[in-house]
A and B are shown apart, each in its own frame.
Chain A
Amino acid sequence: NAGVTQTPKFQVLKTGQSMTLQCAQDMNHEYMSWYRQDPGMGLRLIHYSVGAGITDQGEVPNGYNVSRSTTEDFPLRLLSAAPSQTSVYFCASSYSGGSTGELFFGEGSRLTVL
């Protein structure tokens, strides 16, 4: 029972490089989202999707891009990495939208941008 799977778990980038954080879920959840966790701050919503082909911005979307071509996958792309994007990233999905459905989280991806 895999749940929400994120890859990679750790990544080091140089400023200006691009990369994609992968997220896949096997629970047939329509809702998927990306959060970032920074020291001294709560989890902050980057982007979310309420179904295949539909994405929308969260609280901190700048510098990130997402797409949702299938129900299972929701990759997060960093277009040109900056040190301010050093963070731990969590993908989360829900069976019942992004408000009343409990979120199921992946294990997190720790990204360092030098």
Chain B
Amino acid sequence: ILNVEQSPQSLHVQEGDSTNFTCSFPSSNFYALHWYRWETAKSPEALFVMTLNGDEKKKGRISATLNTKEGYSYLYIKGSQPEDSATYLCAFTPGGADGLTFGKGTHLIIQP
């Protein structure tokens, strides 16, 4: 069983502040790392799929970095807005696998 850890488990951030959180995964046999946003009463939606060490991806105010050698990825949100409130999931897949192993998520609450 692969170990994918996300920290912190939950996070309260003031509107307008920037924030970041971490996903840790096994550094051996890396193949891909996914980030998803999961809003209450909705389904998870993909943010990024990252495959290369040093990858940086950006979508609006949200960006992510990837370090496969040390086994971690950071998700950054710049200038948090209330609509950013959600649970952010990361998921890892090693080489040769056909499925994702998800972390438990970081629950982000943006306070006005």
Report which A residues bind B (CB closer than 8 A): 4, 31, 33, 35, 40-45, 48, 50, 56, 58-59, 90, 97-108
Nearest CB of A to B25, in Å: 12
Which of A31, A100, A104 contacts B51 (CB under 8 A)?
Answer: A100
Range of interface residues on B (Cβ < 8 Å): 20 to 34
A30 to B2, CA, bound (A): 25
Nearest CB of A to B88, in Å: 12
Given A42-B4, A90-B43, A103-B46, A98:B104 Cβ within 8 A: no
Residues on the B chain within 8 Å of A31, using CB? 98
Given A42-B105, A105-B44, A106-B43, A100:B100 Cβ within 8 A: no
Given A40-B104, A99-B32, A107:B43 Cβ within 8 A: yes
A50 to B1, CA, bound (A): 21
Given A59-B1, A99-B93, A41:B98 Cβ within 8 A: no
Q: When the two chains form their complex, are residues A42 and B49 in contact, meaning their CB atoms are under 8 A apart?
A: no
Q: When the two chains form their complex, are residues A44 and B102 in contact, meaning their CB atoms are under 8 A apart?
A: yes
Which of A58, A59, A102 contacts B49 (CB under 8 A)?
Answer: A102
| B109: Cβ under 8 A from any A Cβ | no
| B89: Cβ under 8 A from any A Cβ | yes
A90 to B91, CA, bound (A): 15
CB-contacts of B59-92 with A (<8 A): 89, 91
Q: When the two chains form their complex, are residues A59 and B31 in contact, meaning their CB atoms are under 8 A apart?
A: no
Q: When the two chains form their complex, are residues A98 and B97 in contact, meaning their CB atoms are under 8 A apart?
A: yes
Q: When the two chains form their complex, are residues A99 and B43 in contact, meaning their CB atoms are under 8 A apart?
A: no
